[in-house]
Amino acid sequence: MHVAHLLLIVVLFVGATACIITANVIFYQILDEVNSKRPAEQQFSFIFVNVRAFEITGEHARLFPESQKRKLMYTWAGVGFAIGLIAFLSGATR
């Protein structure tokens, strides 16, 4: 494997990780918005929040139908997973 090929794989994985982190930051912004509209006893806890991610985004869609954050989050996550898959396949074929 050439050094340039290895460097490309590393850059792709770093880019994929950055995209996934960005999607995660947007998700926690969505969580904060949803919790701001719910009573204190009905707010979503930060513990095991990923298990309820679709419930939280559904609630966000109901409370904030005009918000573009969900689309932005899914786009960043999709791009991150696609770049990660490309990096994995690029490294696996050599």
Q: What is the pLDDT of residues 33-87, one digit of tens each?
A: 999 999 999 999 888 898 999 999 999 999 999 999 999 999 999 999 999 999 9
> How far is residue 57 from each of residues 8, 66, 85, measured CA to CA in Å?
34, 13, 25
Kindly give, in sequence order, each residue whose CB lies less than 8 Å from that of residue 73, ignoring residues fewer than 6 positions away: 23, 26, 27, 30, 57
Q: Which residue has the tokens 């298990």?
A: 51
Question: How crowded is residue 56: how many other Cβ atoms within 10 Å of its Cβ?
Answer: 21
- Domain limits, the chain: 3-92
pTM of the model: 0.87
Burial class of 41 by CB neighbour count within 10 A (0 to 12, 13 to 18, 19+): exposed
